[in-house]
Chains A and B, each alone.
Chain A
Amino acid sequence: MIKTNRGCSSNGRALALHARGTGFDPPHLHGSVLRHQIMLISRLSRAGFFIAKELSRGGYTFLSRTRFRQGSCGQCQHSPLELLPETRAFQWAIFQKRHDFSTSASNNASEGGDGQKETISVTFVSKDGEEIPIQVPVGMSMLEAAHQNDIELEGACEASLACSTCHVIVMDMEYYNKLEDPSDEENDMLDLAFGLTETSRLGCQIIARPELDGIRLAIPAATRNFAVDGYVPKPH
């Protein structure tokens, strides 16, 4: 269950602002037995979630095809439901929380196109520190969601895992732990991300799921100073 590919100490990865009393090492590596148990429980509950997701796949296919807003990307499809009022989306989010997940998903599937659309609340924190709350349909990546809402998040390789320009920092460890572990390929790209932190991920790899409702994502600012860090003759 627990992948080993990122079982490495991350000493030095985190920024000072991310030190939260667990030191520099990720808790799942060096934490107490209790921590391990908590981790395991959260992982198991995630597995349960995935079963639910599989069961309600029909509903998801529908959801992922209807977009919240029309964006600039070519794959976007027009939907008569584009202008879903935010309040309604908000009520829907509350509805989700109160109901058993699989029930709400199947409800959704059976309701068909009556305008109900499952979204989660996501807050992006821009480079300037501005908080931008948006609603993201379940199944959509954070990169796509950012683009549809005119949030400045680069996506040079168009979500093909060949760059790290959509790097985001998950602002709460609790939400970071809800995400699946990054793949080797994502880790390869994160290696090259600017201002990498303990809770860094690629925006294109975070897909909206009900349990991520309320997630906050910071877009790292260009903190690197090229004047100092610039040219380093590279010995081989």
Chain B
Amino acid sequence: MAIFGAKQVLWRSFTTVASHPLRVCIVGSGPAGFYTAEKILKRHQGSQVDIIDRLPIPYGLVRSGVAPDHPETKNVINQFSRVAQSGRCSFLGNIALGSSISLVELRELYHVVVLAYGAESDRVLGIPGEDLKGIHSAREFVWWYNGHPDGRNLDPDLKSTDTAVILGQGNVALDVARILLRRTSELAATDIASHALTALEQSSIRKVYLVGRRGPVQAACTAKELREVLGIKDLYIHIKEADLKITPADEEEMKSSRIHKRIYELLSKAATAGPSQPSSGQRELHFVFFRQPDRFLESYDKKGYVSGVHLEKTALKGVGSGKQIAIGTGQFEDLSCGIALKSIGYKSVPVDGLPFDNQKGVVPNVKGRVLSDNSGDPTSIENGLYVCGWLKRGPTGIIGTNLYCAEETVASVSEDVEQGVLGPATNSPKPGREGLLQILEDRKVRVVPFSGWERIDKEEKRLGSSRNKPREKMTTWEELLKAASE
């Protein structure tokens, strides 16, 4: 009803407009969302693009994913903010797809809807003991130290143990290890959330294990992050020499992948570079290869809490095309720890009315065009609905990956607009932003515009400057919403 009402109100204003602007809504304001916006604005001069986000703040994982000690990676925010400030683009925060507004409604309001809301959940191991206290997903931990308003209450216990196990060896795992092991005096000068800094200052964790199912040739991290963690001051690095032995299949893998070869070389070098024993009180980082978690162990004296991981040794098996997977060998060993962080991948969450491939955790699509079902039939396309970023291709890649991803999706949008595939819809006006704001006003949803974020930004920077930090992040919804309106 609300839509029709809004439409009626707006109809008159549109009759005076000579041509109808292409109304585009992008859901999610991370790199995928902003790159999509930038490219649509460039290719469609008459378009009007709205980027909506669940949070009152933009930039997605650039703010809540990129580690606080990687400020240079966040420079891309400057480019994104220029997009948001351009006349034909609006950032509208604090709008949750699915509760503030439904997907069906958005598609009514806009000619084109691009979903770029990423992956806000986690893959699970599906092994016994996964619900024990002291086990967190790396995503939650990252949100916590990056001051995501939904991560603030994680409160990981870093004080009752000296050992943390991280399952996974990708970049997120390395980020988490680095944050746990790096000197807090160095972290204090970053935009790390203050609650996290305090907890890390009081942390008793000295030993971190990075556990991977496969070997050093298959590690999923990138060289920059590995070099960084290996270069932490006064850190003892342990890599078993036996794990560094390579097979002809490994050599084949390295030949076809420059990054894997360089990662292996870095690890080999690190294995022999340092002393063979840690000095007393020295922090330790152990790379554990060829182990997969079988179950989590519960503490005897602290019921309901994790006390270790039961690991199965693995061996590699070729599965064709030079790929090798880990196979359990039936041999087990225990690794004690007081906290376990699962860094085994993010997972996207579907919304009502959106076709979703639960197995792959992505929206079925062809070049960004959303397909009506998972049958793989490329002809059953959801008109005017597109995806980009992790929701489209799964939770892998770096910020720059979204550049190419957005290019592909926007090429599909343009093709459809130019060929009139979107049907009569593109020839008729759509309410767009005004219609959306009308509905949200009726529902008493408080929209935070880009100027609201600019107020938050200014205040965070002000708070940070007094503490020698680039910014002091506001980490609760209340704080953020209050600062946005002040």
Chain A residues with CB under 8 Å of chain B are 8-13, 154-158, 160-165, 184-185, 187-189, 191-192, 194, 196, 222, 224, 226-227, 230-236
- Is A236 a contact of B222 with CB atoms below 8 Å? no
- Is B255 a contact of A192 with CB atoms below 8 Å? no
A-B CB contact pairs (8 Å), 15 listed: A11-B256, A154-B403, A156-B76, A160-B75, A161-B72, A162-B72, A163-B76, A164-B398, A191-B222, A194-B400, A222-B407, A222-B408, A231-B361, A231-B362, A233-B360
| Cα distance A163–B403 in the bound complex, in angstroms | 12
- Is B400 a contact of A226 with CB atoms below 8 Å? no
- Is B362 a contact of A188 with CB atoms below 8 Å? no
Assuming A11-B255, A226-B405, is B261 touching A192 (CB within 8 A)? no
| Cα distance A163–B220 in the bound complex, in angstroms | 17
**B345: Cβ under 8 A from any A Cβ:** yes
| Cα distance A158–B398 in the bound complex, in angstroms | 16
- Is A12 a contact of B170 with CB atoms below 8 Å? no
- Is B394 a contact of A157 with CB atoms below 8 Å? no
Minimum CB–CB distance for A8 against chain B, Å:
6
Within 8 A of A (CB), among B133-159: none
Minimum CB–CB distance for A222 against chain B, Å:
4
**B213: Cβ under 8 A from any A Cβ:** yes
B79 / chain A contacts, CB cutoff of 8 Å: 155-156
| Cα distance A236–B258 in the bound complex, in angstroms | 19
- Is B404 a contact of A222 with CB atoms below 8 Å? yes
B360 / chain A contacts, CB cutoff of 8 Å: 231, 233
A13 / chain B contacts, CB cutoff of 8 Å: 258
The secondary structure that dominates the A interface is loop
Chain A minimum-CB-distance residue to B324: A235
**How many of chain B's residues have a CB under 8 angstroms from any CB in A?**
53
Within 8 A of A (CB), among B335-350: 343-345
| Cα distance A194–B3 in the bound complex, in angstroms | 43
- Is A157 a contact of B262 with CB atoms below 8 Å? no
| Cα distance A142–B166 in the bound complex, in angstroms | 41
- Is A160 a contact of B255 with CB atoms below 8 Å? no
**B28: Cβ under 8 A from any A Cβ:** no
Chain B minimum-CB-distance residue to A8: B261
- Is A158 a contact of B78 with CB atoms below 8 Å? yes
Q: Identify A230's interface contact among B167, B255, B392, CB under 8 A.
A: B392
- Is A184 a contact of B227 with CB atoms below 8 Å? yes
| Cα distance A157–B73 in the bound complex, in angstroms | 6
Q: Identify A231's interface contact among B70, B367, B394, CB under 8 A.
A: B394
Assuming A11-B255, A188-B222, A236-B169, is B403 touching A158 (CB within 8 A)? no
B211 / chain A contacts, CB cutoff of 8 Å: 236
